[in-house]
């Protein structure tokens, strides 16, 4: 390790000078590092306490980034297949309260139109049917002792809707295209409605009445994955609703799409249903998991990175403070080193190296703790810990940088000490 | 005869103050190779300034200081520091040993800034410690050593760089009489072996051991003529 000399030094061949080496003061990198490490390890307890702030800061940062990544990944892992494949379309409405009215119309053949799109599994319309004051009853009998008439919501759906909302049957069948086109008097009962009306089997084709109109019950639902209001409703073909109850247009369209097709179908569906004014339809598509993940990471990161940053700042102040105290305590040592041939620059370099080493050490310990915390927390939650691969390498460098910055002022103070006065202070 | 180790020509050191303090006034002094001299004077006389100027810890404001024939006023900070590392050995009243390092490591510190090879440091440090009679305390830490032992470590540290000039500042100031005597005998031996020694002291017994005695009073240096002992 030789450094170029600033000016040539007159070295005289002299018997008094047993080793006429170039007399410039010289401190090799190995010596510099070993001096710093020796100084740090000679008082391990103090070194550790000094490092604590930075250790915690780096640990907090690493754990934050690690946990945010892990949690975000977990959301992708818990990817909700049901929610991610659901698209629904409703007419846009304007105004408020009673003045609220829809400004566009969904066509009756919405289900068929959407069915043709690539990526659509099933599609159908669903509308609340206004039956006025008509009540529903199973038999046209007037029983003075018990309630036989009920106010049960009536919902008109198209034939594709059962598949689109993933309904399953308890018994019987769903109505089909034919029922719908002919506006047949058939109903499928939600299990809640079936219980109230006392209908439990359909093999004998029971009839129910809505108002004075009779309908044949052809099926009873067991369950539905979406649109649970179907469970307590009387479900009729929407053409039947149009014919008998004056339904003017379908209320909304439900689409079951293939995984990953939701965004695409969302944009295409509006155009398919309303080519002239697709923006007058309100399309609900599930939020993409990626966006959700980024949101979670963003939320977690913003808060905890701030906390981590603050504790790093505190850590840096801690290092600066203790290094300053240590400079004052070691005034005598500084004087001695100057007497032994150290230049102010070498003194500054030594203290800088010490605080940077301390920072790097803190960063290393902090990173380990942060990674450990991520793993432990993930383990308790049965998550898969995920960590950016660069993180464990960058964090110690960050620590070293903090140590370096924290050491600037104390080092300059050490360098500026007059050796004469420093030596007297021992 | 080679050039003197130290040659001061009209060296003056003035400190900025109102009024300016002349701690050293137009001093002429020659220290030859192998000299053993003491520098005495009451406190505030300029003794410390003399020590600092001789030890290159402070630069004269006026005059010429030749160390081994080299005019130090022409040298930069790094070269002055380099000269301190290689040509001057310091011994202090309060030893200035690092408490967390063994005797050997303390001595090895002397070569940290000298640019000499790392590999030879430990053997040279051990040799220096053996020279001052501490071969049995190589791995002892300063807090476990007696004052005399500590000062021997400090002297070993000053010797290991094989300096042209050993500068001792009140080397016995913190020691009892018996220990002081032993340290002074060590100085006698080193002098006898050819080392140039300058001892700054206010203790006349210490001063008497030297061949030459320099008096400083109010920054003015006078030499007491006396036969070599």
Residue A332 CB partners (closer than 8 Å, separation 6+)? A422, A423, A425, A426, B94, B96
B96 lies within 8 A of chain A by CB = yes
Contacts of residue B113 in chain A, CB cutoff 8 Å?
A: 25-27, 337, 340-343, 346
pLDDT in tens, A37-93: 888 888 888 888 888 888 888 888 888 888 888 877 776 655 566 777 888 888 877
**C-beta atoms surrounding B144 within 10 Å:** 12
Q: Write out the two tokens for A197.
A: 């009306």
A95-107 pLDDT, tens digit each: 555 555 566 678 8
A227: nearest Cα among A292, A284, A151? A284
pLDDT in tens, A301-340: 677 778 778 878 888 888 888 888 888 888 888 989 998 8
pLDDT surpasses 80 at A230: yes
- Residue B203 backbone dihedrals phi, psi, to 5 degrees: -90, 115
The pLDDT mean for chain A works out to: 82
Label residues A96-107 b or e (16+ Cβ within 10 Å = b): eeeeeebebebe
Average pLDDT in the A389-393 region?
Answer: 87
Minimal C-alpha gap between A411 and chain B (Å) = 18
Quick one: pLDDT at residue A85?
Answer: 83
A122 token code pair: 């099933």
Q: What is the pLDDT of residue A5?
A: 42
Q: Is the pLDDT of residue A411 over 90?
A: yes
A29 in reach of chain B (CB within 8 A):
no
User: Distances in Å between the alpha carbon of B182 and those of B39, B147, B149?
Assistant: 20, 12, 10
Per-residue pLDDT at A309: 83
Q: Which residues contact A306 (CB under 8 A, 6 or more apart)?
A: none
| Distance, CA of B48 to CA of A200 (rounded, Å) | 114
- Pick from A179, A170, A188, A185: which is nearest to A235 by CA? A188
Ordered structural domains, chain B, with CATH: 33-47+77-224 (3.40.50.300)
Query: What is the pLDDT averaged over residues B207-215?
Result: 90
A70/B219 Cα distance (integer angstroms): 75
**Residues A49/A50/A53/A55 CA torsion (nearest 10 deg):** -80
pLDDT value at residue A22: 45
The answer to whether residue A45 neighbours chain B at the CB level (below 8 Å) is: no
Alpha carbon of B43: minimum distance to chain A alpha carbons (Å):
14
Which chain A residues are closer than 8 Å to B86 by Cβ?
19, 21, 23, 341
Long-range contacts of A100-103 (CB under 8 A, 24+ apart): A103/A280
Q: Quote the pLDDT of residue A100.
A: 56
Chain A positions touching B90 (Cβ under 8 A) are 336, 339-340
The residues pairing with B217 across neighbouring beta strands, listed in sequence order, are B220
Q: Say what the pLDDT of residue A80 is.
A: 66
Q: What pLDDT, on the 0 to 100 scale, is given for residue A3?
A: 44
Indicate the pLDDT class of residue A6, thresholds 50, 70 and 90.
very low
Q: What are the tens digits of pLDDT across the range A102-149?
A: 666 788 888 888 888 888 889 999 988 888 888 888 765 566 666 777
Looking at the complex, does the CB of residue B164 fall below 8 Å from at least one CB of chain A? yes
Residues A251-282: pLDDT tens digits? 889 898 888 788 888 888 888 888 888 888 88
d(CA B102, CA A312): 36
Greater confidence (A84 vs A209) lies with A209
Q: Using one digit for the tens of pLDDT, what is the confidence trace for B160-200?
A: 888 999 999 888 888 898 889 999 999 999 999 999 999 99
Packing angle of the helix pair B121-131, B147-160 (nearest 10 deg): 130
Distance CA A372, CA A374 (A): 5
The DSSP bridge pattern shows strands A207-210 and A86-91 to be: unpaired
Cβ burial A206-220 (10 Å sphere, 16+ → b, else e): bebbbeeeebebbbb
ipTM (interface predicted TM): 0.90
Beta-sheet strand order (sheet of B220-224): B88-91, B165-169, B197-201, B36-40, B212-217, B220-224
Q: pLDDT tens for residues A161-197? A: 988 888 899 888 888 888 888 888 899 999 988 888 8
Would you say residue B96 has pLDDT above 80? yes
Size of chain A, expressed as the number of residues it contains: 426
Q: What is the mean pLDDT of residues A25-31?
A: 82
* CB B23 within 8 Å of CB B198: no
- Residue A11 confidence class, pLDDT cut points 50, 70, 90: very low
Paired tokens of A250: 């379908």
From A190, A136, A185, select the one nearest A162 (Cα to Cα): A190
Structure tokens of A415? Answer: 């360098």
Query: Strand ranges (DSSP E) for A213-266?
Result: 213-224, 234-237, 252-257
**pLDDT per position as a tens digit, B20-53:** 888 888 889 999 999 999 999 888 888 888 888 9
Neighbours of A29 (CB within 10 A): 10
Strand ranges in A92-199 using DSSP code E only, listed in sequence order: 93-94, 101-102, 120-129, 136-137, 149-150, 154-157, 167-172, 186-189
Say what the pLDDT of residue A226 is. Answer: 85
pLDDT of residue A14: 43
Rama region for A52: left / alpha / beta (φ>0; ψ in -120 to 50; rest): alpha
Percentage with pLDDT > 70 across chain B: 97
CB nearest B69 (choices: A14, A28, A338): A14
Angle at A19 between CA A16 and CA A25, to 5 degrees: 110
Tell me which chain B residues have a C-beta less than 8 angstroms from the C-beta of A10: 70, 74
d(CA A239, CA A211): 18
Distance of CA A77 to the CA centre of its chain: 11
Q: Is B67 helix (H, G, I), strand (E, B) or coil?
A: strand
Cα separation, A363 vs A369, whole angstroms: 10
pLDDT at position B226: 64
Judge: B57–A420 Cβ closer than 8 Å, yes or no. Answer: yes
Question: What's the pLDDT score for residue B49?
Answer: 87
Cα gap B48→B21, rounded to integer Å: 14
The answer for B 9-48 residues in CB contact with A (under 8 A) is 33, 48
Q: Compute the average pLDDT of residues B120-134.
A: 90
What pLDDT does residue A78 have? 58
Strand partners, A125: A253
- pLDDT top residue among A232 and A101: A232
The DSSP symbol for B4 reads: P
Look at residue B63 and tell me whether its pLDDT is greater than 80. Answer: yes
What mean pLDDT comes out for the span A354-358? 90
Which chain A residues are within 8 Å of B79, Cβ to Cβ? Answer: 5, 7, 9, 23-25
Burial label for B96, CB within 10 Å (0-12, 13-18, 19+), is buried
Chain-chain contact of B86 with A24 (C-beta, under 8 angstroms): no
Chain B residue numbers with beta carbons less than 8 Å from the beta carbon of A353 are none
Backbone phi and psi for residue A372, each to the nearest 5 degrees, phi listed first: -60, -45
């Amino acid at each position: 390790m030789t450094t170029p000399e600033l000016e040539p030094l007159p070295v005289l061949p002299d018997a008094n000078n047993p080793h006429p080496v170039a007399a410039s003061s010289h401190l090799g990198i190995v010596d510099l590092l070993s001096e710093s490490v020796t100084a740090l390890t000679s008082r391990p307890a103090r070194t550790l306490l000094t490092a604590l702030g930075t250790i915690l800061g780096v640990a907090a940062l690493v754990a934050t980034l690690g946990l945010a990544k892990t949690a975000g990944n977990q959301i992708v892992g818990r990817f909700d297949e049901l929610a991610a494949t659901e698209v629904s379309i409703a007419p846009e409405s304007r105004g408020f309260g009673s003045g609220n009215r829809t400004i566009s119309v969904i066509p009756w053949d919405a289900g068929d139109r959407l069915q043709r799109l690539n990526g659509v599994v099933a599609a159908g319309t669903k509308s609340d049917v206004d039956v006025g004051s008509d009540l529903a009853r199973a038999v046209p009998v007037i029983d003075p002792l018990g309630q036989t008439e009920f106010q049960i919501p009536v919902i008109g759906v198209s034939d594709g809707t059962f598949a689109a909302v993933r309904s399953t049957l308890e018994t019987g069948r769903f109505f089909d295209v034919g029922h719908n086109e002919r506006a047949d008097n058939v109903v499928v009962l939600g299990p809640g409605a079936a219980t109230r009306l006392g209908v439990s089997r359909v093999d004998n084709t029971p009839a129910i009445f809505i108002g004075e109109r009779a309908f044949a019950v052809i099926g009873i639902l067991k369950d539905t994955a979406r649109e649970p209001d179907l469970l307590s409703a009387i479900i009729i073909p929407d053409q039947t609703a149009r014919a008998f109850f004056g339904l003017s247009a379908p209320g909304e369209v439900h689409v079951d799409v293939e995984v990953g097709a939701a965004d695409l179908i969302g944009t295409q569906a509006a155009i398919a249903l309303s080519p002239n004014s697709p923006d007058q339809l309100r399309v609900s598509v599930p939020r993409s998991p990626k966006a959700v993940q980024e949101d979670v990471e963003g939320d977690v990161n913003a808060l905890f990175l701030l906390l981590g940053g603050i504790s790093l700042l505190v850590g840096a102040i801690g290092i600066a403070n203790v290094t300053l105290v240590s400079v004052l305590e070691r005034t005598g040592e500084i004087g001695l080193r100057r007497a032994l041939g150290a230049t102010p620059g070498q003194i500054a370099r030594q203290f800088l190296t010490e605080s940077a080493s301390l920072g790097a050490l803190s960063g290393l310990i902090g990173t380990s703790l942060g990674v450990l915390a991520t793993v432990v927390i993930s383990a308790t939650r049965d998550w898969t810990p995920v960590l950016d691969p660069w993180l464990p390498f960058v964090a110690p460098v960050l620590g070293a940088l903090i140590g370096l910055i924290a050491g600037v002022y104390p080092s300059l103070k050490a360098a500026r000490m007059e050796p004469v006065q420093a030596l007297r202070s021992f | 005869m080679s050039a003197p180790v130290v040659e001061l020509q009209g060296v003056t050191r003035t400190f900025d103050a109102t009024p300016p303090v002349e701690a050293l006034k137009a001093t002429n002094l020659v220290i030859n190779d192998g000299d053993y001299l003491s520098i005495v004077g009451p406190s505030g006389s300029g003794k410390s300034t003399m020590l600092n100027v001789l030890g290159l810890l402070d630069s004269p404001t006026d005059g010429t200081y030749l160390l081994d024939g080299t005019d130090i006023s022409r040298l930069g900070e790094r070269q002055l520091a380099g000269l301190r590392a290689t040509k001057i050995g310091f011994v202090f009243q309060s030893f200035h040993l690092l408490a967390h390092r063994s005797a050997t490591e303390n001595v090895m510190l002397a070569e940290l800034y000298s640019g000499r090879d790392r590999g030879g440091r430990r053997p040279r440090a051990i040799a220096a410690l053996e020279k001052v009679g501490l071969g049995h305390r190589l791995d002892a830490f300063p807090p476990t050593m007696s004052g005399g032992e500590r000062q021997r470590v400090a002297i070993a540290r000053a010797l290991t760089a094989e300096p042209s000039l050993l500068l001792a500042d009140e080397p016995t100031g913190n020691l009892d009489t018996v220990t002081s005597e032993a340290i002074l005998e060590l100085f006698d031996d080193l002098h006898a072996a050819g080392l140039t020694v300058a001892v700054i002291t206010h203790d006349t017994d210490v001063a008497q051991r030297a061949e030459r005695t320099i008096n400083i009073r109010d920054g003015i240096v006078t030499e007491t003529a006396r036969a070599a002992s």
